[in-house]
Structure 1
Amino acid sequence: MKISVSFRLLLSPFKWLRKIRGFRLVYTPLIAIVIFTAVMGVILGTLQLQEKNQQESALFRELSLAKQRIQLRFVNNFDVLVSINRELAASEDKERLRKIAYEQAVDLVNNNHEIVKIIWIDPKNQWLWTAPLSNNKSDWINRTQNDQSANEGLNNAIELSRSTNRASFSQFINLNLPSNDPLEKERKTVFWQVVPNIVDGEIIGYLAALYTAQGVLDVVPAELKAQYRFTLLTDNERVLSISSDRNTPKRAFSNQTSLDIGILSPNLVLRIDTYPPPTNLTFRMLIGVVLGLCAFVIWSLWSVLKQMQVRQEAEASLRTETNFRNAMENSTPVGIRAHDMEKRITYVNRAFCEMTGWSAKELIGLTPPFPFWPDSRREELVEKMNEALESEAISKTGIEGAILRRDGSQIETRTFIAPLINEKGTQTGWITSLIDISEPKKIREELAVSQERFVTVLEGLDAAVSVVDLENDKLLFANRFYRENFGDNAQGHFKLAGNPSNLDTLRDVAEELQDSTPGIPSSFLYQEAESEEVQLDDGSNKWFEVRRRFIPWVDGHLAQLLIATDITIRKEADDLARQQEARMQFTSRLTTMGEMASSLAHELNQPLSAISNYCMGVAKRLEANLDPSLSKDILPALEKASEQAHRAGTIIQRIRGFVKRSEPQRKFSSIKTIIDDAVGLVEIEAHRHRLSITSQLADDLPEVNVDPVLILQILVNLLKNALDSVREAYPLSSRWSAPPVMISADLDTSTFPAMMRIQVTDSGGGIAESVLERMFEPFFSTKADGMGMGLNICRSIIESHHGRLWASNVMDSERTKLAGCTFTMLLPLESPDSMENG
Structure 2
Amino acid sequence: MNWITITWPMVAAACLTLGLIELSIALGQPRRAARLLFALSAGTVACVSGLELALMRTNVLAEWWALMRLLDIAVGVMLVSLTAFIWMYFGNGRKWLAVAVPVLYALGLAFDYLPGAPAGSGMTYQTVAGFRTVETFGGVRFHMAEGVPNPWNVFPYLAVLAQIAFVTDASVRWTRSGGDRRPVVVGGAIAFFFLCAGLQAGLVETGVLDMPYMISWAYLAVLMAMSIELNADVLAGARLASQLRESERRMDLASAAADLGMWTWDVGHDTIWATSRARAMFGFSESEHINRARFFGALHRDDREPTKQALDDALASDVGYDVEYRAHLPEGRIRWIAARGQVERGHRGEPILMRGVVLDISARRDTELELQRLHSELAHASRVSMMGQLASALAHELSQPLGAILRNTEAAELFIEQDPPDLDELRAILVDIRHDDQRAGAVIARLRALLKRRSFAPRVLSLSDELANVAALARSESLSRKVALEIDAAPELPLVMRDPVHLQQVLLNLVLNAMDAVEDLPTARRKITVRVQRHSEGEIEVAIEDSGPGIAPESLERLFEPFFTTKANGMGIGLSISQTIIEAHGGRIWAENNAGEGATFRFTLPLAGAAR
TM bucket (normalised to shorter chain) is 0.3 to 0.5
Q: Which has the higher helix share?
A: 2
Larger CA Rg, structure 1 vs 2: 1
